[in-house]
Structure 1
Amino acid sequence: MKSNVPPELDFPLERRIGKPSATKLHKQLGLETVGDLLHHFPRRYLERGELTPIADIPYDEDVTLIARVQSANARRMQTRKGTLLEVTVADDASGALGLLHLTFFNGWTAQKELTVGTRAMFSGKVGVYKSQLTLTNPNYVVLNDEADDEEEAKRPIPVYPATAKFNSWDIKKAVDQLLDTMETERLRDPIPQPIRESEHLVGLVEAYEMIHRPAEIGEAYKARHRFRYQEALVLQTALARRRSFAAQEDATARPPRAGGLLDKFDAALPFTLTNGQFDVGRELAEDLARPYPMNRLLQGEVGSGKTLVALRAMLQVIDAGGQAALLAPTEVLAAQHYESITRTLGPLGQGGRLGSDDDATQVTLLTGSMNTAQRRAALLDAASGAAGIVVGTHALLSEHVQFADLGLVVVDEQHRFGVEQRDILRTKGRSTPHLLVMTATPIPRTVAMTVFGDLNVSTLTELPAGRAPISTYMAPLAEKPAWGRRIWERAREEISAGRQVYVVCPKIGEKEEEPGSELALLDYGPTPPGRAEKLDLASVNEMFQQLSETPALAGVRIGLLHGRLDPAEKTETMAAFNRGDIDLLVSTTVIEVGVDVHNASLMVIMDADRFGISQLHQLRGRVGRGGLPGTALLVTRLEPGHPSRERLEAVAATTDGFELSRKDLELRREGDILGASQSGGRSTLKLLRAIQDEPLIEKARAHATALVAEDPDLAEYPALNEAIEDYLNPEKEAFLDRG
């Protein structure tokens, strides 16, 4: 008979540590269960050897010390309400007596606990007040007398991620209480015993004790290694299971056909494929010829020819009697893909027209802004099979859209789509269609292995002939204000030479950001004292007005583009820029991906410090696409020494997207790689780090693959199965498809 008692890790905290503590943990840190608190790991440890003697305290640094209270006096503050507690503490390190002054604003608890003679550990940042070293509102924990705590004082002290209202010491007390009261016999280790033994990993119960209450620092490292491995194994097993299930699905094999549309297309190409395009094309051709679905990620530098590789895969599917759908995240990008594919195919994309080639196909565009007649015609082309290639936005996902025989789904910029949206498209085939995911954001191999582990990864690194290198420069207006005028003179020079210019701004109007944009503008908080006032971000509307009145640009045809424009207006503006009817286009990041104007040679990115590294790299890839040298100017008004200028310097220093993506990770961590957020901050990965832990991830991947090959349902490993269900709940596991 199955017990109604939940597993120990799912047990409510209040049943183990009492309601008051559990309520605080929930309110302050969002922790509700035994597992939540156990996995709220210390972020670092303080060792006895790290404790600073007062005589050696450095100014303006964080210190931790053990000292005894010499005096404690509370008085009312004169300039504001409340009391000020002034405490003097002393230590006797190596015989050198030192004094330190502590101040607590409204420190009611400190006033009760820090009485004369009390010994405590204090932690905080050292300041100076009236020529005396001080700690203001330091964290502290009261220690027992030396006779009782000699051994305790040797233990490393865990420092937990905390809040102002629930500090690290309080969390430690709650964890200690939990470790003493939980039923350890009800914990099941998700790492199978043979793997634990081969990798020399400590057991689960022992690991919880060692990570939260290590007797010495080596124990904490052992426990952290064990939990890193556990994370890697759980994640890689989930991915291996997905690969296994995908391999069991049926798909229609789409082998190449000699003398068909693809061969005719290749014969008509006015250039030779790069070695990379040829090799990746062969990988795709082999995948498509198999009777189970291809699941492949195609990544490559901006301009490396991903769309051409994808088009050749589409033509192979058409040769085998199927259709291909290309899903793009925006109408601008869908229209660009449609025009690019139609132009590239030439007569081979004019199927059904008088005198067209027998093997020619038809390309159809389907977007939400089409009128009823256009939409009806596109739906008929897709459903009848007349269109071999259907390019569209989310409109392709509508229940009204049917295909005659959908054989391949190509998703551009996969991170813009939810897994449920992609799966809707996959259900529109007679059997599961093959899947090709494209991204222009280069991903280091270990991150690809971690995020896209259920996809086979193909990478294009070399640029095709005719792609000129892009020169990138930072334009620091804080120290070189004259450059502000020179930028527009430089733009005029490009336009006078018959070329075109992009100007990119981080927002649309005074308060509007680009709708649906991945961009989370970085906020630098309040302006520090002595610095210039906080600057308003450049907006498309204001920049359009300003440039229209700039003498250097007199007579220049200026266009405006952003996501809140009417779809028809957006399409027409982009088409006009494409035709050369607009010389300078002021835009938001709506032009970030896919826009392909060969005559554009200069991009000016205003307030470039507000964009991430990968976005800057994407944006500058819009210039230098037609054999003309491209130039990107990263305009910043930040003062020298601001940490965000490091990102701009990194982008200006290299055009190697993979090097930049590693730098990006160093600066911002992985972000929530299993969830929607792709920027820094909280990470779903608690201890595992994709770059640093590459060897460990490789081992876990090998173990996971072997486990799933032997037991696809993990029936013999229920604890591992539970860990997958718990760690990768359905919502998070779904994100493994998108990254």
Structure 2
Amino acid sequence: MSDSGQQTVGVNQRPVTVLKGVGPQLAEKLARLQVHNLQDLLFHLPLRYQDRTRVTPIAGIQLGQDAVIEGTVSAANIVMGRRRSLVCRLQDGSGSVTLRFFHFSAAQKQGLAAGTRLRCYGEVRRGSSGFELFHPEYQRLDSEHEVAVEEFLTPIYPATEGLHQNRLRALCEQALVLLEKEGGLDEWLPASMLQQHELMSLQEAVILLHRPPPEVSQQQLLDGQHPAQRRLAFEELLAHQLSLLQLRQRVQSLNAYALDGGDPLRQALIAALPFQPTQAQQRVLQEIDQDLARPHPMLRLVQGDVGSGKTLVAALAALKAIAGGHQVALMAPTEILAEQHYQSFRGWFEPLDIEVAWLSGKQGARVRREQLEKISQGSAGLVVGTHALFQDDVVFARLGLVIIDEQHRFGVHQRLALKAKGERSGYQPHQLIMTATPIPRTLAMSAYADLDCSVIDQLPPGRTPVETVVIPEERRPEVINRVRSGCAEGRQAYWVCTLVEESEALQCQAAEASAETLQALLPELRVGLVHGRMKPAEKTQVMQAYSAGEIQLLVATTVIEVGVDVPNASLMIIENPERLGLAQLHQLRGRVGRGATRSYCVLLYRAPLSQMGRERLGIMRESSDGFVIAEKDLELRGPGELLGVRQTGLVQYRIADLQRDAEILESVQDAAKWLHDEGLNDNVQHLILRWMGEREQYAQV
């Protein structure tokens, strides 16, 4: 045991049903709030607080503020205005104020008769008779018994239907009483760590957040900056960090084939290219080579902005594995991107006498059988596909490297399934993960601590920056003229349709309707259409015709977001851009500017734009740096959206907030490393269990 003190048998793991008044129905409502045991309840922290700790004289109340007032009812009448209301006049020695009730019963009216003394709490608003409190909470006072004001600020908790604040407060209070009496929130941070990072004890922090004394700074609490909140956020981030360090250790203890060689194949591929790899590509490849040469599985994330040449790096890494007699699986999130990879890799690898197999969910039975045979016999050195690669009938002869493109698009279980395919006689495949969604440093530090990260931070020469303009819908005719003149000069354009509905069918209908309209308005152009519901063969045919310059204007849904490469396309119009995330807009914009011609991206928005909408489109106009955009996206949308976490079950923080708590991440990393180096495994396991529970299995990717 560490210097964290003796462990006590805590109350924290007891189910909520041990609390007075909690039966199956209430337990079910609490479960909706992810509250299953007493620890969950203690960590169910207030969103904000009300100050009911002092009585304000009526003369001292201020507009817009919540206040506790006391006084005597001088009159109570039903007033027939636009809405029938019960109006009471309340006065103390300093002044008077109106209490107004729109919903009331006869009994309530009787209980508020003239002469009744009341204590009320509510927000001060402006009414027809000066200051008014609408539907205040109130209690009757009698002269014999003095009623004390609240001792602490009143917590307002996240609630759910049928579970009101008073009930939640009473339950939390029961849990706090048990905590004070019996203990139960074991302190797993050693005393020396608490001292070093100036952290209060866990129990002290939890009690303060449920019962803040009146002198505490409400602003600090609202901003999440109070030392008690910082204490909990620190521990939660630490638990996540520790689970990722454990995962990393686990991976490093596994065996993989050490891959070395492949230089002649690489030289042949580079010699056939019309350009030389950039220094950034060469640096990242060196980092990959060092990993592959070790007898442990590589787990490397390669980030590179749109068009930085990640695919070539992946191809050169694949050649190292293939030269050693291993197979490589390359997985992409969409049919279009997978097919594009297949075409690129075939063009590169077939002259080197390497067979490339292709697996898609929509292949005919005969073609699929042929491909599966090549994979199982090992004659296919590289296998490209979508999630079709996971299916049970896909058997690799000797899988040595798995390359995953845009990994955040895949659920964790899918990635685990592919990794499992390569486990053979105690050996694991190496994993290379690529993303064109730059990951902000704060996210990389917390969500990808188990991966080594490389960044391709240089664009190939000859790339021209894309100029972005933001134009309202009313100016659509101008935009159409711009398409006309651009295509007349021999260039090509994209027109991207987005719909607020998630339904793919509706998106496709919108794209079809847009294509028809644009073809009618631009009869001299050849207009093509791609969307998610077309058969793969049809999509490929359209994309090939566009690449060959036979189609001048391509109307598409966001399926073209990643990987489509047509250097002659220099104009992109995105309709309703306010409906997409910044990272997605940046990806789409990256489809133009791939040649030497000056390129433009037009964001055609529908007014009125919200404040956030204006801010986001402004960022797109001002910056073409994917990392700057990703940081802003994280700020505006939070980490779940950016990582595709909705599907992974990871990084759903209860208390921590990556944006708000960014400045403590480095201390958290140091603390995690220290706990590991000191060998405090008991503390580590308990911290992970407390904050992540069973979710840790998800992290085995």
TM-score (norm 1): 0.83
Per-residue CA shift, 1:541-566, capped at 9, x if unaligned?
A: 2212221221xx11211122211222
Letter in 1 for 2:378: G
Distance in structure 1 (CA, Å) of the matches to 2:111 and 2:452 = 60
**Residue among 257, 273, 279 paired with 1:269:** 273
Q: Which residue pairs with 2:211 in the alignment?
A: 213
Q: Cα gap change, 1:30/1:699 in structure 2, threshold over 3 Å: closer, same or farther?
A: closer
Pair 1:474-2:470 in alignment: yes
Distance in structure 1 (CA, Å) of the matches to 2:339 and 2:561 = 14
Q: Which residue pairs with 1:523 in the alignment?
A: none
Find the residue that maps to 2:396 and give its secondary structure: coil
Assess if the C-alpha contact under 8 Å between 2:52 and 2:149 holds in 1: no
Pair 1:506-2:498 in alignment: yes
Distance in structure 1 (CA, Å) of the matches to 2:429 and 2:442 = 27
Aligned residues: CA RMSD: 3.6
Per-residue CA shift, 1:148-168, capped at 9, x if unaligned?
A: 777845x44433233575454
**Residue among 592, 602, 605 paired with 2:571:** 602
Q: Which residue pairs with 1:721 in the alignment?
A: 685
Pair 1:8-2:11 in alignment: yes
Letter in 1 for 2:216: I
Q: Which residue pairs with 2:320 in the alignment?
A: 316
Q: Cα gap change, 1:285/1:27 in structure 2, threshold over 3 Å: closer, same or farther?
A: closer
Pair 1:733-2:701 in alignment: no
Distance in structure 2 (CA, Å) of the matches to 1:587 and 1:143 = 69
The CA deviation at 1:332 is 0.9
Distance in structure 2 (CA, Å) of the matches to 1:142 and 1:617 = 60
Pair 1:546-2:517 in alignment: yes
Assess if the C-alpha contact under 8 Å between 2:119 and 2:138 holds in 1: no
Assess if the C-alpha contact under 8 Å between 1:54 and 1:100 holds in 2: no
Q: Which residue pairs with 1:527 in the alignment?
A: none
Range 102-111 or range 168-177, more displaced: 102-111
Distance in structure 1 (CA, Å) of the matches to 2:130 and 2:58 = 12
Assess if the C-alpha contact under 8 Å between 1:22 and 1:32 holds in 2: no
Find the residue that maps to 1:280 and give its secondary structure: helix
Distance in structure 2 (CA, Å) of the matches to 1:396 and 1:411 = 11
Letter in 1 for 2:22: K
**Residue among 284, 287, 295 paired with 1:283:** 287
Distance in structure 2 (CA, Å) of the matches to 1:408 and 1:14 = 50
Distance in structure 1 (CA, Å) of the matches to 2:144 and 2:28 = 31
Letter in 1 for 2:682: E
Q: How many residues align?
A: 678
Per-residue CA shift, 1:164-217, capped at 9, x if unaligned?
A: 754545433332232123453333223234423332322232222111112342
Assess if the C-alpha contact under 8 Å between 2:645 and 2:651 holds in 1: no
**Residue among 6, 17, 22 paired with 1:19:** 22
Distance in structure 1 (CA, Å) of the matches to 2:26 and 2:696 = 28
Find the residue that maps to 1:8 and give its secondary structure: coil
Find the residue that maps to 1:677 and give its secondary structure: helix
Q: Cα gap change, 1:608/1:108 in structure 2, threshold over 3 Å: closer, same or farther?
A: farther
Q: Cα gap change, 1:130/1:195 in structure 2, threshold over 3 Å: closer, same or farther?
A: same
The correspondence of residues 185-200 of structure 1 with structure 2, limited to 5 A, is 185-200=183-198
Q: Cα gap change, 1:600/1:303 in structure 2, threshold over 3 Å: closer, same or farther?
A: same
Q: Which residue pairs with 2:451 in the alignment?
A: 455
Runs of 5+ consecutive residues of structure 2 not aligned to the other structure: 1-7
Find the residue that maps to 1:427 and give its secondary structure: helix
Find the residue that maps to 2:428 and give its secondary structure: coil
**Residue among 327, 330, 334 paired with 1:326:** 330
Distance in structure 1 (CA, Å) of the matches to 2:619 and 2:531 = 28
Q: Which residue pairs with 1:373 in the alignment?
A: 366
The correspondence of residues 287-366 of structure 1 with structure 2, limited to 5 A, is 287-343=291-347, 345=348, 349-350=349-350, 360-366=353-359
Distance in structure 1 (CA, Å) of the matches to 2:602 and 2:61 = 46
Range 49-58 or range 691-700, more displaced: 49-58
The CA deviation at 1:473 is 0.9
The CA deviation at 1:322 is 1.7
Q: Cα gap change, 1:621/1:90 in structure 2, threshold over 3 Å: closer, same or farther?
A: farther
The CA deviation at 1:375 is 1.8
Range 50-59 or range 721-730, more displaced: 50-59
Runs of 5+ consecutive residues of structure 1 not aligned to the other structure: 351-355, 518-536
Assess if the C-alpha contact under 8 Å between 1:189 and 1:203 holds in 2: yes
Assess if the C-alpha contact under 8 Å between 1:673 and 1:683 holds in 2: no
Distance in structure 2 (CA, Å) of the matches to 1:249 and 1:146 = 76
Distance in structure 1 (CA, Å) of the matches to 2:119 and 2:15 = 35
Q: Which residue pairs with 1:253 in the alignment?
A: 258
Q: Which residue pairs with 1:569 in the alignment?
A: 538
Q: Which residue pairs with 2:4 in the alignment?
A: none
Letter in 1 for 2:518: L
TM-score (norm 2): 0.87
Distance in structure 2 (CA, Å) of the matches to 1:548 and 1:86 = 65
Per-residue CA shift, 1:65-87, capped at 9, x if unaligned?
A: 1212543847598888xx74444
Q: Which residue pairs with 1:400 in the alignment?
A: 393
Q: Which residue pairs with 1:524 in the alignment?
A: none
Distance in structure 2 (CA, Å) of the matches to 1:674 and 1:11 = 33
Q: Cα gap change, 1:380/1:671 in structure 2, threshold over 3 Å: closer, same or farther?
A: closer
Distance in structure 2 (CA, Å) of the matches to 1:30 and 1:85 = 40
Assess if the C-alpha contact under 8 Å between 2:492 and 2:553 holds in 1: yes
Distance in structure 2 (CA, Å) of the matches to 1:302 and 1:58 = 54
Q: Cα gap change, 1:73/1:329 in structure 2, threshold over 3 Å: closer, same or farther?
A: farther
Find the residue that maps to 1:19 and give its secondary structure: coil
Assess if the C-alpha contact under 8 Å between 1:256 and 1:319 holds in 2: yes
Distance in structure 2 (CA, Å) of the matches to 1:691 and 1:141 = 42
Assess if the C-alpha contact under 8 Å between 2:239 and 2:688 holds in 1: yes
Range 594-603 or range 39-48, more displaced: 39-48
Pair 1:584-2:553 in alignment: yes
Find the residue that maps to 1:559 and give its secondary structure: strand
Distance in structure 1 (CA, Å) of the matches to 2:149 and 2:410 = 55
Q: Which residue pairs with 2:202 in the alignment?
A: 204
Assess if the C-alpha contact under 8 Å between 1:16 and 1:181 holds in 2: no
Pair 1:178-2:184 in alignment: no
The CA deviation at 1:450 is 1.1
Q: Which residue pairs with 1:225 in the alignment?
A: 230
Letter in 2 for 1:637: R
Pair 1:130-2:125 in alignment: no
Q: Which residue pairs with 2:595 in the alignment?
A: 626
Find the residue that maps to 1:403 and give its secondary structure: coil
Distance in structure 2 (CA, Å) of the matches to 1:698 and 1:39 = 24
Q: Which residue pairs with 1:103 in the alignment?
A: 101
Find the residue that maps to 2:275 and give its secondary structure: coil
Per-residue CA shift, 1:301-350, capped at 9, x if unaligned?
A: 1111111111111112222222211101111110011112233x2xxx22
Distance in structure 1 (CA, Å) of the matches to 2:82 and 2:203 = 53
Range 667-676 or range 288-297, more displaced: 667-676
Distance in structure 1 (CA, Å) of the matches to 2:367 and 2:550 = 26
Distance in structure 1 (CA, Å) of the matches to 2:366 and 2:339 = 18
Find the residue that maps to 1:186 and give its secondary structure: coil
The CA deviation at 1:632 is 1.1
Q: Cα gap change, 1:49/1:6 in structure 2, threshold over 3 Å: closer, same or farther?
A: closer
Pair 1:691-2:696 in alignment: no
Assess if the C-alpha contact under 8 Å between 1:101 and 1:132 holds in 2: no
